[in-house]
Amino acid sequence: MSRGLRVVLLVVAVALFLCCVAGLGVTLLGTRLVGRAFITNPDRVQAVGRAIADYEVPPDYEEIFAMNIMGVKMVAIGPADPAADILLIMLMQFPGGVDISREEMERQVRRALARQTGLGSADMTSVGQEEVVIKGETITLEVREGANDRGQNLRQISGLFQGKGGPAMLMVTGEVASWDQAMLDRFIESIR
């Protein structure tokens, strides 16, 4: 084997080794960041939610978990009794100045919802829109329905509003049979 070929093989081997080490480092760092980003401490969960908007948690509900990673904040509000088939409310906010579409925000919320609860795995179809007022602004909520892989018929509403740090999204998912529109209306009215 010529000296030139050995040098090239050595350079390629070193480059591959460095790529493997870098990949492992990124994976470990990502795992550590995601682990730290997932918040279950009630005080910290509440703080993340209040960084997005002020609101009143509905009776028999609680702030379940939150995420805060690289300026992206999300809080999930659900029934205090985990066996209850009631609505799951999620608020999400990207940092100010980030140019992100409504579709991308919805995709991120659905992915987090599916990962944490299994409710976001449904194939949803738009069935209409409704207008609500959040913080004095008229907001259009997209209404979707569909069935998840467990055969549950789900309804989902989502829409963008102005949060404390920029655009925020409200997404609510629940079974059609136990959909509590009156409770949801009260929650939406409480957002300030």
Domain spanning 40-190, CATH architecture: 3-Layer(aba) Sandwich (3.40)
- Residue where the block lists tokens 């609505």: 87
Kindly tell me if the per-residue pLDDT of 10 is higher than 50: no
Q: Please tell me the predicted confidence (pLDDT) of residue 22.
A: 42
Bigger pLDDT: 5 vs 39:
39
Nearest to 191 by CA among 120, 144, 139, 145: 139
Domain ranges of the chain: 1-39, 40-190
pLDDT in tens, 58-117: 999 999 999 998 888 999 999 988 777 778 999 999 887 766 676 776 666 666 555 555
- Between 68-72, 172-176, 178-182, the lowest mean confidence (pLDDT) is in 68-72
Burial readout 28-61 (b: 16 or more C-beta within 10 A, e: otherwise):
eeeeeeeeeebbeeeeebbbbbebbbebebbeeb
Q: Please tell me the predicted confidence (pLDDT) of residue 16.
A: 38
Q: Please tell me the predicted confidence (pLDDT) of residue 15.
A: 39
CB-neighbour burial class of residue 18 (10 A; exposed 0-12, middle 13-18, buried 19+): exposed
pLDDT in tens, 23-56: 444 444 444 444 557 899 999 999 999 999 999 9
Q: Please tell me the predicted confidence (pLDDT) of residue 26.
A: 42
pLDDT in tens, 122-140: 678 999 999 999 999 999 9
- Neighbouring C-alpha atoms within 13 Å toward the C-beta of 173: 26
Bigger pLDDT: 170 vs 116:
170
Q: Please tell me the predicted confidence (pLDDT) of residue 158.
A: 92
